[in-house]
Amino acid sequence: MMSQANLQPKPKKPPMALIQAMMNVTSSLQKFRAKMMPPQVAMVEMINAYQVSQAIYVAAQLGIADLLKDGAKSSKELAHLTRVDEQSLYRLLRSLASFGIFAEDEEKCFDLTALAVTLQIDSPESVRAWAIMSGEKWHWNLWSNLIESVKTGKTAVEYTFGKPNIFEYFVQDSQAGNHFDEAMTNLASLNNSAIATGYDFSGISKLVDIGGGYGSHLTTILKTYPSIKGVLFDQPSVIAGAKEFITENGLAERCELVAGDFFQSVPPGGDVYLLKTVIHDWDEHNAVKILKNCRRAMTEHSKLLLVEAVIPPGNTPYFGKLLDLEMLTTSGGRERTEAEYRTLFDAAGFKLTKVFATASPWKIIEAVGVS
């Protein structure tokens, strides 16, 4: 797990609601610019977006943002510290600075910006691991075969690596799996507090977190609501690593760790069953199977909560629409609309009762069991 140590000085972390608003504004500006320039120029800018992504990946891998935490440095100093070619590094950082990632002064020294801080390994708002995972060769190979997924409806993992989904691939490539886990931790840090405060968990005695990883989300809720006891449920290998994290957070007495397979069964007797970004990993058949196992474990008064991206209608800008392509290429899952979640719940013996907006792009979908 990443350290949550504060680095000084640094820009204040913006609320996730503001981040989503900024995403909407950016999309609107892109549309405006597209109208103000020849269509082919606007299209070339969008096509070349992969170059920015890869440049960010290189800076993240080299740890440039961490090297600047004590102040600006020249490209010569940075090249010496990272053991790379000075001129090539300068050209990389100059390009990134033009996008607001790092800032170059008149003496060709580079300093941190609010965007650059997110590439520091110990920053609370770090997305460095996400940048690294996104730039890794295995991940790029999958996206280069997106067309195969569109043609066949199957994952690009199956076409590229001969595995049905990304989780099976990680069995043979543990390093890729580690990068994936770290990237998921980055994403979790973006919405843990927003989810904990976006739903009223008061009055709940037992909260079961299904597929909760090391428990970063569950610990946030337990700390926010001291009267709740938690159950963290995940695969044996994950639970083995979660014990230390739960103990470090002082929750060993309030959080039970249970290993298992949610395709077989889940722990019974919870007041609330929480699945955070789990169902989107799976197709309808497997998603319904997981939900049915939750339904069997629930009491008459239990509730089900899904934390997921909920796709808005029409041309509304939303990060989940591209994330849906990530699901298509990697897991065979999908991001869904509210109507699609209603259909999924109907098939699993649930009724969708409410969708809660949060101070993040993710939403909380509440459901109850039906006879």
CB atoms near residue 24 (< 10 Å)? 13
Q: Residue 39 is inside which H or E element, if any?
A: helix 39-47
Q: Residue 73 is inside which H or E element, if any?
A: strand 73-74
Inter-CA distances, 158 with 167, 238, 241, 308, 329, Å = 11, 24, 29, 25, 9
Q: Read off the tokens for 174.
A: 């543990």
Dihedral sign for Cα 333, 334, 338, 340, please.
negative
Inter-CA distances, 312 with 13, 192, 340, 367, Å = 26, 22, 11, 19
Q: How far apart are CA 66 and CA 5, in angstroms?
A: 13
Q: How far apart are CA 166 and CA 304, in angstroms?
A: 26
Q: Read off the tokens for 294.
A: 């939750």
Q: Read off the tokens for 282.
A: 């799976």
Dihedral sign for Cα 336, 339, 344, 350, please.
positive
Distance of CA 39 to the CA centre of its chain: 32
Task: Identify which of 316, 322, 334, 270 has the alpha carbon closest to the alpha carbon of residue 296.
Answer: 270
Q: How far apart are CA 19 and CA 47, in angstroms?
A: 24
Q: Check 80, 217, 280, 285 and give the catalytic one.
A: 280
N- to C-terminal Cα distance for the chain? 41
Residue 280 appears among annotated catalytic residues: yes
Q: Read off the tokens for 194.
A: 């927003």
CB atoms near residue 97 (< 10 Å)? 17
Q: How far apart are CA 197 and CA 359, in angstroms?
A: 9
Beta-bridged to residue 109, according to DSSP, are 74
Q: Residue 103 is inside which H or E element, if any?
A: strand 103-104
Q: Which residues are catalytic?
A: 280
